[in-house]
């Protein structure tokens, strides 16, 4: 989040008014040793998580004893370690990498530097391989305090990303400025209240915001990622925006167009899908559709896969977000995080989501279904239009689904035919049916007189052990039925 001068002054006033340093707050005068700063980032980040705070703070230019402003000579933007900027050097020494930012604030009594440090999420933050913690106002090694370490891990295991705060301690007017509340009421099919209190109360009931004891409010990650007017306004979420990229041909060498979404996932979903569909080339004819201009990829399949990418991503992974890439021969939809189920079982497995609150709300507004992941729809649509089978894979700790443009069967290799045969068997099985020579002929658009060709496809898939005969001892092959290997 980009802070105004007024906000930083108010933040400084609030922090300096505390009676003493806390486990998530440290004051300094001019001490700017890079190694010590790194250790404090680790300690304050871990302690902020223990204290239930979104951020920890290290502030220069404040006296430790009485918290008076005395000013500082420390200028983080001008500080280098070798040829590397201080901020970059610190980031490279941290694991996992977290967000932190230096703010230089000119006051009547001198320059103050505020280092705002994101709280630890799923792992304690290390600096140069060591984890630190604050005990009172002292910086210590975390391993020396096993009870603190155990409590920290319990917090990581029990706190969903959606329940954490994107912004803390703002007033009702700021809530209404940051969140697209009219879209919220429209999507849940409720009338917009005619007063500010009614709006705030309803957002609070749905865990979009929380009221603090002081009377101010905090916006949860759930509220921000669903209904942000601009995700860039939320520093920890701005990289969660959806990137849509169009390439000139089959490689990433030449980009025709790139756009990063600005809205939240709920209030921006319809617009996102419409935008993606305008970028998809059209075909004049796709076998079963006669002389009709249709998108290269079925709209239902695109919608389901984009929704899945938003809902099932690992929101704790920093620096990346969902991405839609359109090539001349394929479309790739990628989200951060490895899937919770084996990609081979996407079609039949019960849905599992890291982000259940996010998934639940998206189901409420009809973006995704309660009963499943929608992958069966994706496979059905690709079969209906006789496209190559979609590819589900894990790449560099991300989940990627690829839709392929229409291609004649003669140009599909054995691996692609086996994948299509397997997914056809899965689709039939969840519909309480079985793959047969006849059903696979229809899937590939092959005439009956060429059934021997389909028999070879079935044999290939059986040898690859992705399908199996339902009655292995039967001598009849003409009416043989097949199921997925896991059935």
pLDDT of residue 372: 53
What are the boundaries of each domain within the chain?
Answer: 5-159, 165-237, 241-407, 414-484
Q: Which CATH architecture has domain 414-484?
A: Orthogonal Bundle (1.10)
More confident: 9 or 199: 199
Assign a CATH topology to domain 165-237: Arc Repressor Mutant, subunit A (1.10.10)
- Please compute the mean of the pLDDT values over residues 283-290 and round it to a whole number: 53
Assign a CATH topology to domain 5-159: 3.30.950
pLDDT exceeds cutoff 70 at 369: no
Q: pLDDT tens digits for 329-349?
A: 999 999 999 998 899 999 888
Q: Which CATH architecture has domain 241-407?
A: 2-Layer Sandwich (3.30)
Q: pLDDT tens digits for 142-179?
A: 999 999 999 999 888 778 899 989 998 889 999 999 99
Give, in order, the Cα–Cα distances in Å from 360 to each of 206, 231, 306: 11, 21, 16
Q: pLDDT tens digits for 290-332?
A: 445 678 999 999 999 999 999 999 998 888 999 999 999 999 9
Give, in order, the Cα–Cα distances in Å from 438 to each of 223, 287, 413, 482: 50, 18, 21, 12
Same fold, 165-237 and 241-407: no
pLDDT exceeds cutoff 80 at 285: no
pLDDT of residue 197: 94
The mean predicted confidence, pLDDT, of the chain is 90
- Of 4, 475, 487, 1, residue with least CA distance to 235: 1
Share above pLDDT 90 across residues of the chain, in percent, rounded to a whole number? 70
pLDDT of residue 147: 92
């Amino acid at each position: 989040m980009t802070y105004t001068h007024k906000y930083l002054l108010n933040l400084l006033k609030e922090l300096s008014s505390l009676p003493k340093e806390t486990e998530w707050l440290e004051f300094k005068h001019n001490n700017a040793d890079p190694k010590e700063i790194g250790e404090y980032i680790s300690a304050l980040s871990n302690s902020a998580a223990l204290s239930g705070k979104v951020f920890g703070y290290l502030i220069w230019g404040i006296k430790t004893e009485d918290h008076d402003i005395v000013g500082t000579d420390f200028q983080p933007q001008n500080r280098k370690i070798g040829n590397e900027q201080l901020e970059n050097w610190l980031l490279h020494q941290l694991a996992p990498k977290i967000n932190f930012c230096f703010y230089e604030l000119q006051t009547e009594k001198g320059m103050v530097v505020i280092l705002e440090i994101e709280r630890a999420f799923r792992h304690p933050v290390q600096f140069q391989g060591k984890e630190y913690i604050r005990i009172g106002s002292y910086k210590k090694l975390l391993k020396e305090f096993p009870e603190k370490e155990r409590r920290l891990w319990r917090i990581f295991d029990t706190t969903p990303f959606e329940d954490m705060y994107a912004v803390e301690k703002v007033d009702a007017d700021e809530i209404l400025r940051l969140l697209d509340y009219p879209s919220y009421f429209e999507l849940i099919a409720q009338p917009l209240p005619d007063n500010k209190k009614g709006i705030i109360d309803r957002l609070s009931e749905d865990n979009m915001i929380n009221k603090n004891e002081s009377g101010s409010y905090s916006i949860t990650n759930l509220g921000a990622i669903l209904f942000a007017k601009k995700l860039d306004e939320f520093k920890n979420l701005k990289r969660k925006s959806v990137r849509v990229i169009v390439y000139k041909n089959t490689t990433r060498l030449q980009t025709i167009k790139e756009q990063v979404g600005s809205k939240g996932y709920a209030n921006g979903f319809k617009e996102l899908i419409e935008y993606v569909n305008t970028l998809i080339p059209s075909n004049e004819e796709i076998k079963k559709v006669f002389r009709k201009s249709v998108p290269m990829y079925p709209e239902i399949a695109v919608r389901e896969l984009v929704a899945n990418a938003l809902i099932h991503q690992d929101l704790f992974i920093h620096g990346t977000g969902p991405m839609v890439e359109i090539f001349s021969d394929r479309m790739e939809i990628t989200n951060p995080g490895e899937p919770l189920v084996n990609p081979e079982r996407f079609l039949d497995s019960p849905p599992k989501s890291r982000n259940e609150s996010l998934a639940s709300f998206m189901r409420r507004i009809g973006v995704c279904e309660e009963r499943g992941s929608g992958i069966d729809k994706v496979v059905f649509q690709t079969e209906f239009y006789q496209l190559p089978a979609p590819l589900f894979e894990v790449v560099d700790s991300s989940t990627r689904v690829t839709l392929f443009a229409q291609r004649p069967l003669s140009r599909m290799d054995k691996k692609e035919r086996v994948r299509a045969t397997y997914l056809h068997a899965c689709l039939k099985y969840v519909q309480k049916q079985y793959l047969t020579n006849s059903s696979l002929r229809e899937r590939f658009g092959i005439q009956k007189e060429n059934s021997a060709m389909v028999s070879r496809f079935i044999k290939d898939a059986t040898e690859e052990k992705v399908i199996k005969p339902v009655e292995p001892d039967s001598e009849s092959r003409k009416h043989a039925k097949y199921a997925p290997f896991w059935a």
